[in-house]
Amino acid sequence: MPAPSATALLDWYDVHARRLPWRVPPENRALGVLPDPYRVWLSEVMLQQTTVAAVKSYFLDFLARWPTLPALAAAPRDDVMAAWAGLGYYSRARNLKACAEAVARDHGGRFPDTVEGLSALPGIGPYTAAAIAAIAFDVPAAVVDGNVERVVARLFALETPLPDVKPEIRRLTATLTPQQRPGDFAQAMMDLGATICTPKRPACALCPWSDPCLARRRGDAETLPRRQAKAKRPTRYGVAFVARRHDDALLVRRRPDKGLLGGMLEVPGGDWREGAPPEAAPPFPADWKTAGEVEHTFTHFHLVLSVKTTEVGDRPPPAGCFWLDAAAVAGEALPSVMRKVVEAATDRPARRQSRHARNVLAPKRTIFDR
């Protein structure tokens, strides 16, 4: 059998590379155009746990508002959180801001050009460090996302299920990664998995690595990589109180920085617990009416919220809360679950009124399924 050739994959990539707003196309890269590390970093952080389709408009809007790293580092954190609303996994937004500040403060506004230096920055783990090093600085680092896992598992017919097989996939990816054009090679591997070596019905006849692929020869490529059975998600229950003032302002509070949806706005409510729906005291006495239920699925649990609503006159907010002007609701940092709650209570859209709206509730994927 022939060995997988990096040259064959790069030749395929030169013709079939996806056009993405954060990417330098291979023909431009051949002319000496260098990737902007800021754009590479921003896209990689956004793509964690999120689809390419959902990220594109957010990426372009972030660049329009903060075209450089110093601009993002100087931006108010609340503005960054609001711009992130709908992308989910909000710790990424907090780390994004912290990382921009660290690079501006400690590195003169320039990203480190090594995996080790990048790994020391807030919010940059092993995968992201390798991806930035390879794509932005042409470091021959092994970049392994879900597309690459799928390609390598099939190429070498690896039977060990995920996640146990990950170290072997990283080792094999390192053996494939060339010293020349490692950034293009990393993106070629991602594109191969996203467009040819897809989870279902891979287009093996079009693959530049069809000949050396063991799974293709065995005829079971679609069954790889193997996966362990997922544990059943528990269901948690809670109550959400939607209070509207006479001028349509919404009563909200800010969640703690640490934990789920950290730093985001929410309407008042009780704890989210498994078992029977818990009792929760409203933020103030009023004629609270039941507006139905809202369901939302997080990574590790499914959530059912009972929505209560009321309308009040000009009254001060209770401790820990504030009134959010109606005009600001669509632009503030309301996570998707809270937008669902507000919509259920008011029968009006609470999503961002922009091109983000079509993507905010799109199914989220891990960075390994871009």
Whether 332 is catalytic is no
Which is the catalytic residue, given 44, 101, 149, 266?
44
Residue type, 29: R
DSSP letters, 203-246, are: -GGG-TTTTT-HHHHHT-GGG-S-BPPPPPPPEEEEEEEEEEET
| 211-214 contact pairs (CB < 8 A, 24+) | 211/1, 211/2, 212/1, 212/2, 212/3, 212/4, 212/5, 212/155, 213/154, 213/155, 214/1, 214/154, 214/155, 214/156, 214/157
Residue found under tokens 């993405």: 20
DSSP letters, 105-132, are: HHSTT---SSHHHHHTSTT--HHHHHHH
**How far is residue 347's CA from residue 338's CA, in Å, rounded to a whole number?**
14
- Mark out the alpha helices in the chain (DSSP H runs): 6-16, 26-30, 37-47, 52-65, 69-74, 77-84, 91-106, 115-119, 126-137, 146-155, 166-176, 182-195, 214-218, 326-329, 336-346
**Residue numbers annotated as active site:** 44
